[in-house]
Each structure stands twice: as C-alpha cells, then as structure tokens.
Amino acid sequence: MRLILHTAAYRLVRTIQAAIPRRETLSGADFSSIRLRLSKIAVRVRETESRIRLAFAANCPQAPLFRA
C-alpha cells in the first residue's frame, strides 16, 4: 500500500511540474524543490458539489502560479 501511495504522490508532483509555464522560476526545478514549495504552502480548501476552491494566504508568493 505504501508503494501505491508513493507512486501516486510522485505522479501528482510530476503532473504539476509539467503544468508549470516555462516563464516561471519553478519550471526547471527538480522534484524535491517542488515538493518543498508545496509542503510549505498553507491553503484553505472549500469543496462544493461542482468545484474545489483554494484560498491562499495574502502574502503567499507562489499563489498565482499554483492557482494557474
């Protein structure tokens, strides 16, 4: 089970890495840099029937990147 969870987390981070636009500084980042940036972000998640909304802190520097 642990292998399945690790594989899913790896695929999720690789998908996020592929979605980062080339003009951003994280576009050339390696796996561990993206993982660290994601783990240090506090976000409030609101889930409704049709969508998931993320509320970032006002001073989060990567908020526009992760919204995109």
Q: Can you give the three-state secondary structure of the chain, one letter per residue?
A: CHHHHHHHHHHHHHHHHHHCCCCCHHHHCCHHHHHHHHHCCCEEEEECCCCEEEEECCCCCCHHHHHC
Mean pLDDT of all residues belonging to the chain: 79
Could you tell me if 66 and 26 are in contact, meaning their C-beta atoms sit under 8 angstroms apart? no
Query: pTM for the full model?
Result: 0.52
pLDDT band at 3; cut points 50, 70, 90: very high
State how many domains the chain has: 1
Q: What is the pLDDT of residue 39?
A: 65
pLDDT per position as a tens digit, 38-60: 766 777 888 888 888 878 777 77
Q: What is the pLDDT, as a whole number, of residue 7? A: 92
Segments forming the whole domain that contains residue 35 = 2-67
pLDDT at 27 over 70: yes
